[in-house]
Amino acid sequence: MKIGILGTRGIPNRYGGFEQCAEYLALGLTERGHKVWVYNSHTHEYQGSEWNGVQIIHCNDPEDKIGTAGQFLYDLNCINDARKRGFDVLLQLGYTSNSIWYWRWPSYCPNVVNMDGLEWKRSKYSKKVQWFLKHAEKWAAKHGDVLIADSKGIQQHLMATYNKPSHYIAYGADVFDAPDTNLIQPYNILPHQYYMLMARMEPENNIELIIQGYIESGAENSLLIVGKTDNEFGTLLVNRYGQHNGIRFLGGIYDIKAVNNLRYYSSMYFHGHSVGGTNPSLLEAMSSHALIAAHDNVFNKAILETDAFYFSTPADVATIIRKHSNKAAYSLLIENNLNKIRTQYSWARITDLYEQVLLDAVR
């Protein structure tokens, strides 16, 4: 098959979940003998026309000049280019800035759309933006030839709201088995003597709730917070809690080996995400042998089941820290989550599932 992948800033991944998904899928599908093209922003640091056998198409992306509106123009530029490429199938990752152009989607090939999370529920957006995102979801659901849901909750939502079936395919991860204490030394920490969370600084990720619970617990070990803090909410958190002795804002860390080791050697990993489907950082925490405490919601429970501690309030977080910080006592939970990665969420399996959906779409 000739497969086009659009909807991301490009590969190799330098940004987030969909870029990671595009990277692994492009490599895996190429290894399976397919020809794959991935759309990259012209501002992406990788400027080559091919990457590990994957063809790269750079399209103009004016986001750096005009802000968020540039995302819509970038997607339109990618769509217009795809109209003349002769792909057998087009895989669109997300809908927030491209479903408005559904009338420009190529009609000569199936459009397979990953429906992302419930973006219109995110509290960081104004009411007007939430209204638009709700309509963007509707356009994608209505005009996508084949829909992919990355969680069963999203799958149920698509059927209940739009009467549209979808294929459930989660994100992927691979088990991390190369721990190295040297990689956490730069952070001046000791193995299993710190707590950790990793997230974008957004209210719905419940970072402040976790911080408040950590403070309430009176824990002696530090809480490491990984994620860029240069947005409004991140700045608020740093100003409000940055002077606390135990709270350390590490900023964004893009060395995957360092991140994996930080998760591996944490005494507990907090996952506060409350909106959206299967979150890549949750799967990566599971694959990194982390003991996990997660926000109590249907998306997290669908993945972790009974193999995590759950919280909804700062008091819950404080109780978890006081009672369950002995990681060695919960090796069964950790092993159960590792087995989920091996059997349900490995990138090899996820790529197989995508390949089958794409093959079926072109038949």
- How many residues comprise the chain? 363
Q: Are both 139 and 224 inside the same structural domain?
A: no
| Residue-level pLDDT, tens digit, the chain, 363 residues | 999 999 999 999 877 778 989 999 999 999 999 999 999 999 999 999 999 999 999 999 999 999 888 999 999 999 999 999 999 999 999 998 999 999 999 999 999 999 976 666 666 667 787 888 889 999 999 999 999 998 888 899 999 999 999 999 999 999 999 999 999 999 999 999 999 999 989 999 999 999 999 999 999 999 999 999 999 999 999 999 999 999 999 999 988 899 999 999 999 999 999 877 678 899 999 999 999 999 999 889 989 999 999 999 999 999 999 999 999 999 999 999 999 999 999 999 999 999 999 999 999
Residue 325: which domain range?
181-344
Q: Are both 20 and 165 inside the same structural domain?
A: yes
Question: Which SS3 state, helix, strand or coil, does residue 119 take?
Answer: helix
Q: Are both 200 and 214 inside the same structural domain?
A: yes
pTM of the predicted protein model: 0.86
- Token pair belonging to 3: 């497969």
How many separate domains does the chain show?
2
- Give the count of beta carbons closer than 10 Å to the beta carbon of residue 319: 16
- Report the C-alpha gap between 240 and 104 in whole angstroms: 46
Domain CATH number, residue 44: 3.40.50.2000
Query: Of 233, 217, 208, 235, whose CA–CA distance to 315 is shortest?
Result: 217
DSSP 341: I
Task: Classify residue 153 as exposed, middle or buried by CB count within 10 Å of its CB (0-12, 13-18, 19+).
Answer: buried
260 neighbors 286 (Cβ within 8 angstroms): no
DSSP 337: H
Q: Are both 310 and 351 inside the same structural domain?
A: no
- Report the C-alpha gap between 93 and 351 in whole angstroms: 14
The strand pairing partners of 36, in sequence order, are 3
Q: Are both 108 and 119 inside the same structural domain?
A: yes
Question: Which SS3 state, helix, strand or coil, does residue 47 take?
Answer: coil
Q: Are both 354 and 339 inside the same structural domain?
A: no
Q: Are both 199 and 138 inside the same structural domain?
A: no
Q: Are both 27 and 73 inside the same structural domain?
A: yes
**52 φ, ψ (degrees, to nearest 5):** 50, 45
Question: Which SS3 state, helix, strand or coil, does residue 172 take?
Answer: coil
Q: Are both 109 and 207 inside the same structural domain?
A: no
Q: Are both 322 and 354 inside the same structural domain?
A: no
- Cβ neighbors of 85 (< 8 A, separation 6 or more) are 2, 4, 37
52 neighbors 30 (Cβ within 8 angstroms): yes
- The tokens 């492009």 sit on which residue? 26
Q: Are both 286 and 149 inside the same structural domain?
A: no
